[in-house]
Amino acid sequence: MITSSLAAVVMASLLASCASAPTFSRTVYEDPTILVRLDSPVVQEEVSGEPRGEIAELTPGNLAELLQSLRIQPEISFLSYWVLRQEPQPETAFPKDEAQLLAPHLRAALAKARPNEMPVFVLRRTREDGIPLVTTGGLLIHGDQLLVLLANARRPATTQRKIEMARETPLHPLGEVDFHFVPGPYQATLVRNDLPTSIAVTSAPALSVDYRAWLASFLQHGRGSSPTQTEPEIPAAMIEEKLHRLKTWREQGLITDDEYQQKRQELLQHF
């Protein structure tokens, strides 16, 4: 059973180290599409210690499956609600092709990471209209927990400077965060309110995965099938924010009382 408090303590330590400067980086893999490196908040000569070596059972193939099991849900604006009249549906954070591209290099980075290093990644794809899309974040193994930070999920990078920023600081969103994690089996979300304000230096959504329990279930069900998804859990802070948003829309006359009551009941069912 994953507890938010345990994951929050670990994430606090992670974010505290990510906030420090300077940062020393070791590139694990780089090509025009992918960058995977190890970031450490120390200078080069201070990077020490043996690689963790804690993930022998987590193969690149298994890691690709795990990445595909992570889901996010886009945040909805009033305009989107008015046009669609429905909440956006959860989608995979890492589609199959992206997960398979990243997994071997992230697996290598996790195996090489020393105690004061964190694997970070930048994935660049191109939309049909030629606009670059960037996905950035980081992973960290802590005991049985795989912590996932996802700062940008296929976010359009319309300028060269944004692309450079994504490479320089993969753990920081390029703009307002427009999605949240939808946890599945053996997964728990971390909300910013769980962290002390002194170290909450990034607004990137964070997720904790009990990867050993997930892997055992995955292997039991057979390769090619992930553990069964349960009813999505929405963090309490996220529900409260959505309730306030609905109330504002009703007070502004943007939605009817019936629409307000219907959506309110849907949200309250998640408590």
Q: What is the pLDDT of residues 171-204, one digit of tens each?
A: 899 998 889 899 999 999 876 665 434 334 567 8
Contact 216, 144 (CB under 8 A): no
Q: Which amino acid would we find at residue 252?
A: Q
> Distance (Å, rounded) from C-alpha 234 to C-alpha 229?
14
- Torsion angle in degrees (nearest 10) through CA of 137, 135, 197, 15: 10
pLDDT for residue 85: 58
Checking if the pLDDT of 35 tops 80, the result is yes
Mean pLDDT of the chain: 77
pLDDT for residue 248: 76
pLDDT for residue 184: 92
The pLDDT > 90 percentage for the chain reads 39
Note the Cα 1 to chain centre separation in Å.
20
Can you state the angle between helices 236-251 and 257-268, rounded to 10 degrees? 180
pLDDT tens digits, residue range 117-136?
889 999 999 999 999 999 99
Q: Which two tokens stand for residue 213?
A: 């329990």
